[in-house]
């Protein structure tokens, strides 16, 4: 099932022995705001409203959310250069954390998911694509084949 809001879409399903799984793509943060028909002054503000929708709809039950969150922490020192992150709308990343979400990728691995060596863009290292858990889930590390 997909829930469609004025500014975003959230797809969700129930998976046996796992629970509620959400999937979405949150607004990318650009320096200029082009959405003339929405009541926000920036993409950071629009993304905050998208986060509020998830929190209001799903805060009372355990769930997993996978997304292009377009928000992530700033990490200035790390063990390797691909773990130094510029931070994309880090204030919105903090909203997820204060709403009780666990983001184990950033503590277990922490490499950029949108990286400066991407030949398609001129951008800095950021971690904006990951999986978050809310409630009684325990993440298990895994390895992805290259």
Q: What's the pLDDT tens digit per position in 105-136?
A: 888 889 999 999 888 878 899 999 999 999 88
Give the pLDDT confidence score for residue 69 in this predicted structure.
94
Give the pLDDT confidence score for residue 93 in this predicted structure.
96
* Residue 68 within a domain: yes
* Residue 102 within a domain: yes
Q: How long is the chain?
A: 146
Does residue 23 contact residue 42 with C-beta atoms inside 8 Å?
Answer: no
Domain that includes residue 34, residue range: 2-134
DSSP-derived pairing of the beta strands 9-15 and 2-4:
antiparallel
* Residue 139 within a domain: no
Domain count, the chain: 1
* Residue 67 within a domain: yes
Nearest to 18 by CA among 135, 130, 100: 135
* Residue 13 within a domain: yes
CATH number, domain containing residue 49: 3.60.10.10
pLDDT band at 101 (very low <50, low <70, confident <90, very high): very high
Q: What's the pLDDT tens digit per position in 20-33?
A: 999 988 998 988 89
Does residue 25 contact residue 67 with C-beta atoms inside 8 Å?
Answer: yes
Sign of the C-alpha dihedral computed for residues 98, 4, 25 and 27 taken in this order: negative
Q: For the chain, what percent of residues have pLDDT higher than 90?
A: 45
Residue 79 pLDDT exceeds 90: no
- Single pTM value for the model: 0.86
Structure-block tokens of residue 6: 């004025």
DSSP conformational letter for 31:
S
Give the pLDDT confidence score for residue 1 in this predicted structure.
65
* Residue 144 within a domain: no
Give the pLDDT confidence score for residue 7 in this predicted structure.
61
DSSP-H helix ranges across 30-131? 43-58, 90-98, 104-108
Residue 145 pLDDT exceeds 60: no
């Amino acid at each position: 099932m997909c829930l469609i809001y004025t500014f975003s879409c959230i797809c969700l399903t129930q998976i046996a022995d796992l629970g509620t799984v959400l999937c979405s793509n949150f607004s990318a943060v650009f320096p200029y705001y082009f959405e003339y028909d929405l009541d926000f002054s920036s993409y950071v503000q629009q993304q905050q409203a998208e986060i509020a929708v998830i929190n209001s709809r799903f805060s009372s039950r355990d769930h997993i959310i996978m997304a292009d969150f377009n928000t992530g922490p700033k990490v200035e020192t790390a063990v390797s250069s691909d773990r130094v992150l510029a931070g994309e709308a880090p204030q919105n990343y903090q909203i997820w954390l204060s709403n009780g979400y666990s983001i184990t990728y950033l503590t277990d691995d922490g490499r950029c998911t949108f990286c400066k060596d991407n030949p398609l863009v001129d951008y800095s290292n950021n971690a904006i694509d990951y999986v978050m858990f809310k409630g009684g889930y325990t993440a298990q590390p895994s390895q992805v084949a290259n």
